[in-house]
Amino acid sequence: GIQVEQSPPDLILQEGANSTLRCNFSDSVNNLQWFHQNPWGQLINLFYIPSGTKQNGRLSATTVATERYSLLYISSSQTTDSGVYFCAGGSQGNLIFGKGTKLSVKP
């Protein structure tokens, strides 16, 4: 089955810094999403991005489907950005998740 690898596993930043999270897929996927898991466990949708680039405020994402990877950019990080970021992809109704990147933003 498809393998999803996220890097780095852990990331510590000072408030205001920028960061890039990466997600590699072992095979092509026809959907790709980025999530932020809040402290209560809910997965919050950040981007649905099978290909191309999208931006939403301080966050942006790029997926290069032909090379099977996606990047999530966080600019001017804030303490509220802390948490675990997951990428996931696969076929409709069946998402394969990476192990996540745990981000800690220090004030």
Q: Where do contacts with another protein occur on this chain (CB under 8 A)?
A: 30-31, 33, 35, 40-43, 45, 48, 86, 88, 90-100
Helices (H), the chain: none
Q: Are 33 and 87 in contact (CB under 8 A)?
A: yes
CA dist., res. 22 & res. 103, Å (int): 13
Q: Are 103 and 82 in contact (CB under 8 A)?
A: yes
Compute the least distance from the CB of residue 95 to another protein, in Å.
Answer: 6
Closer residue to another protein (CB): 17 or 43: 43
Compute the least distance from the CB of residue 20 to another protein, in Å.
Answer: 22
Which DSSP symbol is given to 9? S
Compute the least distance from the CB of residue 97 to another protein, in Å.
Answer: 4
The partner residues of 30 in beta bridges, in order of sequence, read none
Compute the least distance from the CB of residue 32 to another protein, in Å.
Answer: 10
Closer residue to another protein (CB): 18 or 104: 104
Q: Are 68 and 98 in contact (CB under 8 A)?
A: no
Closer residue to another protein (CB): 11 or 88: 88
